A and B are shown apart, each in its own frame.
Chain A
Amino acid sequence: MALAGFADTSSRKTVAPMRKSRVVILLLLPGIAYLGLFFLAPLVALLITSFQAPDPNSFDFGAYVYAFEWQNYVAGVAEYWPIFLRSFFYAIVATVAALVIGYPIAYFIGVYLRGRASLQAFTLILVVAPFFISFLLRTLAWKQILGDDSWLVTTLKSLSIMPADGHITGTAFSVIFGLTYNFIPFMVLPIYASLERLDLRYLEASSDLYSRPSTTFFKVTLPLSLPGVVSGTLLTFIPASGDYINASDDFLGGPSTQMVGNQIQSNFLKLLDYPMAAVLSVVLMGIIMAIVTFYVRRSGTEDLV
């Protein structure tokens, strides 16, 4: 009896944490296994593919074998470095433009409309409204609005604002415009979330101490909204640098505006040069990770991740 009682209590004592740990494992297992199988394993597959060489025993197009062909990387960088530079240049300009355009919108919703909850909600819905309509159709709409035969371009030409042989679509400008346009909501939302929590008394304190509005903005408002700015710029920069819809011929780009994403797609799906597509993907991901890590460290918001 005593023994049974002892056994009972001891098992009871261990049951609660035991069951708890079993619950955690049950909760974690499906998701973690999924991420392992369909996120980590594909990255490994990509790395392996990037070292492949054409199959010497096969005349099939697109047949490759593993060969630790590290020269693939040398060839990829040598051939595509101007395109990498262009991609990151476009992405950085688009990110800065989205920040400059988006910050005042976020400020308006988070600070100016403070206390008017329904107006805030209404404006926020308008900001995210573009997400509710197809990304590709949105971009095609700009292509048609800015196209060579469009009303806008013919008017600008007849007013001699634009040269008669000028184009908007197919240029770096239209690609950067498209990237900026498509990612502005990603910029506005996190900045809004930061500004919404901003204590307005800090702004009052600053103006009570006779600082000019611009000083208040740069010394108080902007630093306090920095976490939002950091996540907004990352949410814009990362997809922008990998995007290839805006830059593709059928959308806002042309032959001279190709980005890394276009090259990855054509290598993978058209040329069936899987190793080269993999090399470009690995290099793109490596550069983005390096930039993101450096940027997050510099801005001192490591707890963001």
Chain B
Amino acid sequence: MRLSLGRWLLPLYTALALILLLIPIAYTFVFSFNDYFKTNIDWQGFTFRNWTNVCDAQGLCSAFGNSLMIGVVSTVLATAMGTALALALARYKFRGRSIISLLIFVPMATPEVVLAAGLASQFFTLNVEKGLGTVILAHTLFCLSFVVVTVKARVASLDPALEEAGRDLYAPPSQVFWRITFPLLVPGILAAALLSFALSFDDFIITYFNSGSLQTFPTFIYISASRGVPAEANVIASAVFIITLALVVTSQVVSRARAKALKRNA
């Protein structure tokens, strides 16, 4: 059966490994309260100043705003196109299906730096000026495949009996889709959108190759890394961390409660 050593060794090991994983998060959070001067490397004392005056760090808030906007727009684009692709792949049989699946898979298996250089060469060849537009186009691309994979898994796990019941009750196909299929897909679509936003928000390599003079939150950190990242950047990262964590925990709790309620009714 289970390794007898594993009784206490495995939990202890996992705890230590998780602590290691969480150390940089704790570090970033703690140093968001550092009363730093010029460089945020040594601990100078505790202050709330960085949290109350986040935008004091020059260029930080506009970079953060750009990241939010890029994240939202490319998430909407990628989620719309990706959900359509996922539905087509999971629900219809057509010629060239395996090639299309491959076309969706390969971008995820391509190293980011290659995607970045490819897009940058294309924009360069076509004389497109780099900026907000090129970054959004690039982010939509790498989010697309992840959306397809996430939503496709959800479509595949749907109970076909529910749609059959709709058809048995003479609902036309469009009604079956919008009243039955789509609402059941919403959690999957939301998960895909969240993933897509997170990927876009944290992306550095593709952004840096295609952003020109535009700054996003990651490129801001990269550029200020050589002379010291201001603690205000830690504030934003910590705030984003707390909000994401809260969202994930809430969605977990809600879906668990829903599953329990469903079980009780069944």
Interface residues of A, Cβ cutoff 8 Å to B: 20-21, 23-24, 26-28, 30-32, 34-35, 38-43, 45-46, 48-49, 101, 104-105, 107-109, 111-112, 117-118, 121, 123, 125-127, 129-142, 144-145, 147, 149, 181, 184-185, 203-204, 207, 213, 217, 234, 238-239, 241-245, 249-251, 260-261, 264-265, 268-269, 274, 277-278, 281-282, 284-285, 288-289, 292, 305
Contacts and interface: CB of A to CB of B under 8 A. Distances in A.
B121 A132 contact: no
A93 B122 CA distance: 34
Interface in B104-146: 104-107, 109-115, 117-122, 124-125, 137-138, 140-141, 144
Interface stretch (B47-55, B163-171, B231-239): B231-239
Contact of B88 (A24, A38, A239): A24
A24 B137 contact: no
B117 A281 contact: yes
B225 A251 contact: yes
Given A38-B141, A132-B240, A239 B111 contact: yes
A129 B18 CA distance: 10
B249 A45 contact: no
Contacts of A129: 21-22, 25, 241, 245
B3 A38 contact: no
A136 B24 contact: no
Contact of B13 (A39, A104, A134): A104
Contacts of A269: 208-209
14 contacts: A28-B84, A30-B81, A31-B148, A34-B144, A39-B141, A45-B122, A127-B18, A132-B248, A136-B218, A136-B222, A141-B24, A184-B21, A234-B109, A250-B226
Given A104-B14, A213-B3, A126 B22 contact: yes
A108 B14 contact: yes
B138 A38 contact: yes
B23 interface: yes
Best-surrounded residue of A42, A43, A260, A305 (most CB of chain B within 10 A):
A42
Best-surrounded residue of B110, B112, B217 (most CB of chain A within 10 A):
B110
A31 B85 contact: yes
Contacts of A268: 117, 120, 209
B112 A123 contact: no
A75 B158 CA distance: 54
Contacts of B122: 38, 41-42, 45
Contacts of B41: 144, 147, 149
Contacts of B80: 30
Contacts of B102: 305
A34 to B, nearest CB: 6
Given A133-B28, A144-B27, A125 B140 contact: no
Closest 5 CB pairs of A and B: A242-B111, A42-B118, A141-B24, A27-B88, A31-B85
B180 interface: no
A42 B2 contact: no
Contact of A31 (B2, B84, B234, B256): B84
A132 B245 contact: yes
The secondary structure that dominates the A interface is helix
B197 to A, nearest CB: 12
B117 A277 contact: yes
Contacts of A43: 118
A274 B28 CA distance: 36
B229 interface: yes
B82 interface: yes
B28 A112 contact: no
Given A135-B202, A137-B221, A285-B114, A121 B92 contact: no
Given A27-B85, A207-B1, A281 B113 contact: yes
Nearest to A16: B173
Contacts of B115: 39, 42
Contacts of B44: none
Nearest to A214: B3
A184 B22 CA distance: 12
Nearest to A30: B81
Contact of B125 (A48, A140, A203, A241): A48
Contact of B28 (A46, A137, A234, A260): A137
A175 B208 CA distance: 21
A284 B113 contact: yes
A36 to B, nearest CB: 8
B60 to A, nearest CB: 12
A217 B3 contact: yes
Contact of A27 (B2, B27, B87, B218): B87
B124 A28 contact: no
Contacts of A204: 1
A293 to B, nearest CB: 10
Nearest to A234: B109
A92 to B, nearest CB: 15
Contacts of B237: 133-134, 137
Contacts of A140: 221, 225, 229
Nearest to A259: B113
Given A105-B17, A136-B218, A137-B24, A45 B121 contact: yes
